[in-house]
């Protein structure tokens, strides 16, 4: 997925990294509408990873249901390391917790979600974009014009 940002740069995204708790799920349940949106993002050619410390013990079940790759990452530094291995210059990440701050710092595009489980201020400050929900985050990735409009200087 290539984005030409007017008066700025061209961004090529190949990978989407997602957080689990408070991002894809609320109180352990997948947010309705996530699966359909991830299918559209997959059609755009992005590889999708779930990086999680698996606080609730349901990460594998969620990853299987959403047909995404799971990588266990129990700390922010582990998430950052995974992103560095995936080429952070082509990664977008969506999350909400303190565990996502180091990840947000290294990826090309970071989106913080401010859902019912909250967003940590360090991740909020590292984020390129802040949206009210995972559905909004995925929609902005699906609608490239919305993303370009938000990123243009």
Strand partners, 3: 11
Strand partners, 12: 2
Q: Specify the CATH number for the domain of residue 139.
A: 3.40.50.1000
Nearest in space to 38 (alpha carbons), one of 50, 26, 55: 50
**Cα(93)–Cα(115) distance, rounded to whole angstroms?**
16
- Laid out side by side, the sheet with 129-131 consists of 69-72, 47-52, 15-18, 91-95, 109-113, 129-131
Supply the pLDDT for residue 53.
Answer: 86
User: 121: domain range?
Assistant: 2-151
Q: Enter the tokens of residue 107.
A: 């990826």
Q: What is the pTM of this model?
A: 0.95
Supply the pLDDT for residue 55.
Answer: 86
pLDDT 10s digit of each residue in the chain, 153 long? 898 888 888 999 999 999 999 999 998 899 999 999 999 999 999 999 999 988 899 999 999 999 999 999 999 999 999 999 999 999 999 999 999 999 999 999 999 999 999 999 999 999 999 999 999 999 999 999 999 999 999
Instruction: Give the total number of structural domains in the chain.
Output: 1
Q: Look at residue 106 and give its three-state secondary structure.
A: helix
Q: Enter the tokens of residue 146.
A: 């919305």
In Å, what is the CA distance from 58 to each residue of 52, 64, 149?
10, 10, 36
Q: Enter the tokens of residue 1.
A: 């997925």
């Amino acid at each position: 997925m290539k984005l030409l940002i007017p008066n700025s740069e061209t961004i090529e995204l190949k990978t989407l990294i997602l957080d689990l708790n408070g991002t894809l799920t609320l109180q352990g349940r997948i947010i309705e509408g996530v699966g359909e949106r991830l299918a559209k993002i997959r059609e755009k050619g992005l590889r999708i990873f779930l990086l999680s410390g698996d606080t609730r013990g349901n990460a594998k079940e969620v990853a299987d249901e959403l047909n995404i790759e799971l990588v266990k990452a129990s700390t922010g530094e582990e998430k950052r390391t995974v992103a560095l291995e995936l080429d952070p210059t082509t990664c977008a990440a969506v999350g909400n917790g303190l565990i996502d701050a180091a990840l947000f710092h290294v990826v090309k595009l970071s989106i913080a979600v401010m859902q019912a489980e909250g967003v940590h201020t360090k991740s909020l400050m590292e984020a390129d974009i802040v949206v009210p929900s995972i559905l909004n985050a995925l929609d902005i990735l699906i609608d490239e014009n919305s993303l370009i409009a938000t990123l243009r200087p």
